[in-house]
Amino acid sequence: ILAEESEDELPPREERAAARLSEQDVARGNKEGAAPEETEHNGQREGEETEPDQTPVLSNKPRKKKKKRKTKKTAAVEVLEDNDLEDLDSLLEKIEDSNGLSQQSQGGIISDSRPLLYVEHRNLNPENELKRYFGARAVLGDQRPRQRQRQYVRSTWLTAPKNTWPRYSKTGIAMQLLDTRRGVQHFTFEHHRDYQQVQFKFLDAVESMDPNNIVLLLQMNPYHVDSLLQLSDVCRMQEDQEMARDLIERALYSLECTFHPVFSLTSGTCRLDYRRPENRAFFLALFKHLMFLEKRGCPRTALEFCKLILSLDPENDPLCVLLLIDFLALRAREYTFLTRMFQEWESHRNLSQLPNFAFSVPLAYFFLSQQEQRPELERSQARERSARLIQLALVMFPSVLTPLLDHCSVQPDARVSSHPFFGLNAQISQPPALNQLTALYVGRTHALWKDPAVMAWLETNVHEVLHMVDARDPLVEESEHKRKMRYQSAPRNIYRHVILSEMKEATAALPLEVTSQPVMGFDPLPPLDSIISYTRPERTNHPSNESTLSLFFRSLLPNFNLQGDVRHDGEEEAGAGQDLNQGVNRLMAAMRDMLANIQFQEPPRDDNPEGDGDWD
């Protein structure tokens, strides 16, 4: 009762903090002169601390006042819940700032003292981002669970389980810790024997080219991950986006329930090897989930999932999320994170050689220079960096300008359109791999360049680049040599990223060796150096030993087998004399079944000129 009464009478958080500080000062200064009558709530706590023998007397007061205050609580509880939910993120940010998580760097841009790929749990929930945009009442509505009606569900960070999902049970997947090297832990998923049998059935269902077989498999195994991924692609092709997203979330929930106790999403020191087929489902489910989040309008949450994918294998980057992370950072207005990533990784990853980083990083500096709350010195430094980097990007990748202006519906001036440096020759002469990267970047981020202020800034720097070209700056010739030597062929992870992104501009530029082979949604372009832990058993078919007549009847009747079941070595000689008779009997039975099922249609009569239908 005391706990419920204290919840009813709680003042706002700022008043509670001030009241606690005043209580401590009063208790330290003059305990004897403490007045319990100052406020009802504070007086009750002071009375409990100074006079413990009066607690039975004080505990009777809430019982008398509870009936009076109950009506007030029901009227104001909704407003209090909404305010608490809306202020949660802002309070957390204030606490982080007070703990000194941000510090001033030498260049004047605020940098974070935490690791670059640090993942925050609260940023993995898209509802938190939607609450910041629209408020808690608009997001949750009447769906807020009450404490008494809440059922026990397993706490997860990636997704929240839904009541419409089937009841979860162990699927046969487990995560094991392989080894720990230099503070980095390497994990892997493992498939038990029962899950392997389900996986074989799934491969048979995929080969049948019938999605209904996958649906039947999911009815028996509702948390089979590869079936969920493949069926999600089918639903997305049928424009059922809600069901496609729900299946991906169910796959993530199934995988998260099998995490190793030591596996951490936030530390950035846990690794998964994409060469193992068991680990690929987790990468693909995370990637598809962040794509749905970005389309849903949650770029900050999508950025957090992108950081998570990159932290699982930052050296190899099997899904090449480096081609996507800059776009998500710009959309989420996380300009400081993008500039920090460029500063820390440029020396060993050469991010400036990717067109997306070459153009997105100066755009981020430009947006930082437009923020009026920053100091003037910091804004001027960001302005200078943005001008220098965008000029280097235009010199290195001149073929980006014309498609970017076309997508933005902007007509360049006469000097730019007539100059050969940015003309059609720049797009024709570039290697195919570079054409894929530029098409991917322009198709994905052109909406961020439509701002009139951005276009004015871009126009100024384009003219500066033309001055450099006309003056025969050695940097122009050096960049042209780099373009011809590099970008001859794209690695396999870039092709995999283009396929998963489904950008029409980039998909059209894929080479023939990629588009000619079948691509499965549950494992697109598997690595050539895969680490196979178990293999699919071969089917027991021996077509080479069958005669032409047997193959003919098998095409008519798939269950027909002239040779019968395969015998063991000891029984083969003993039953050799009966093989011919049994084969003839099966052949005659098959012919009788075939003839019994043949039906002839009568020709149309003369008295019925229209006829019942066409002849088959």
Are 290 and 547 spatial neighbours (Cβ–Cβ below 8 Å)?
Answer: no
> Which has the higher per-residue pLDDT, 1 or 22?
22
Are 112 and 336 spatial neighbours (Cβ–Cβ below 8 Å)?
Answer: yes
Q: What is the mean pLDDT of the chain?
A: 79
Residue from 363, 322, 320, 355 nearest 339 by CA: 363
pLDDT for position 488: 85
Residue 382 clears pLDDT 70, i.e. is over it: yes
pLDDT band at 493 (very low <50, low <70, confident <90, very high): very high
> Which has the higher per-residue pLDDT, 247 or 544?
247
Q: State the amino acid at position 450 in one-letter form.
A: K
Residue 393 clears pLDDT 80, i.e. is over it: yes
Specify which of 68-77, 130-139, 303-312 reaches the highest per-range mean pLDDT.
303-312
Specify which of 141-155, 349-363, 552-566, 579-593 reaches the highest per-range mean pLDDT.
349-363
Mean pLDDT in residue range 261-282: 94
CATH code 1.25.40.10 region(s) in the chain: 123-134+156-319
Residues 367-381 pLDDT 10s: 999 999 999 999 999
Dihedral class, residue 548 (left if φ above 0, else alpha if ψ from -120 to 50, else beta): alpha
Residues 196-248 pLDDT 10s: 999 999 999 999 989 999 999 999 999 999 999 999 999 999 999 999 999 99
pLDDT band at 43 (very low <50, low <70, confident <90, very high): very low
User: Which residues, listed in sequence order, are joined to residue 520 by a DSSP beta bridge?
Assistant: 523
Mean pLDDT in residue range 333-351: 95
Residue 327 clears pLDDT 90, i.e. is over it: yes
Assigned architecture for domain 123-134+156-319:
Alpha Horseshoe (1.25)
Q: Which range (100-109, 332-341, 573-582) has the least confidence?
A: 100-109
pLDDT band at 572 (very low <50, low <70, confident <90, very high): very low
Total-model pTM = 0.72
pLDDT for position 521: 87
Specify which of 14-23, 390-399, 574-583 reaches the highest per-range mean pLDDT.
390-399
Percent of the chain whose pLDDT exceeds 90? 55
Residue 4 clears pLDDT 60, i.e. is over it: no
Mean pLDDT in residue range 136-144: 69
Residue 498 clears pLDDT 90, i.e. is over it: yes
Are 192 and 285 spatial neighbours (Cβ–Cβ below 8 Å)?
Answer: no
SS (H, E, C) 198-254: HHHHHHHHHHCCCHHHHHHHHHHCCCCHHHHHHHHHHHHHCCCHHHHHHHHHHHHHH
Residue 404 clears pLDDT 50, i.e. is over it: yes
Residue 506 clears pLDDT 80, i.e. is over it: yes
User: Which residues, listed in sequence order, are joined to residue 270 by a DSSP beta bridge?
Assistant: 185
Burial of 437 (0-12, 13-18, 19+ CB in 10 A): buried
Residue 353 clears pLDDT 90, i.e. is over it: yes
Question: What is residue 364's three-state secondary structure?
Answer: helix
Mean pLDDT in residue range 579-597: 63
Residue 190 clears pLDDT 90, i.e. is over it: yes
Residues 438-479 pLDDT 10s: 999 999 999 999 999 999 999 999 999 999 999 999 999 999
Rounded CA-CA distance 550/560 in Å is: 8
Residue 48 clears pLDDT 50, i.e. is over it: no
Q: What is the DSSP secondary-structure string of 8-34? A: HT---HHHHHHHHHHHHHHHHH-STT-
pLDDT for position 584: 60
Residue 336 clears pLDDT 90, i.e. is over it: yes
Residue 563 clears pLDDT 80, i.e. is over it: no
Mean pLDDT in residue range 135-153: 61
pLDDT for position 139: 76
Mean pLDDT in residue range 530-538: 90
Residue 401 clears pLDDT 80, i.e. is over it: yes
pLDDT for position 581: 60
Rounded CA-CA distance 479/544 in Å is: 60
Are 268 and 311 spatial neighbours (Cβ–Cβ below 8 Å)?
Answer: yes
**DSSP H or E stretch at residue 271:** strand 270-272
Rounded CA-CA distance 381/368 in Å is: 10
Specify which of 45-49, 282-286, 585-589 reaches the highest per-range mean pLDDT.
282-286
Residues 410-431 pLDDT 10s: 999 999 999 999 988 888 888 8
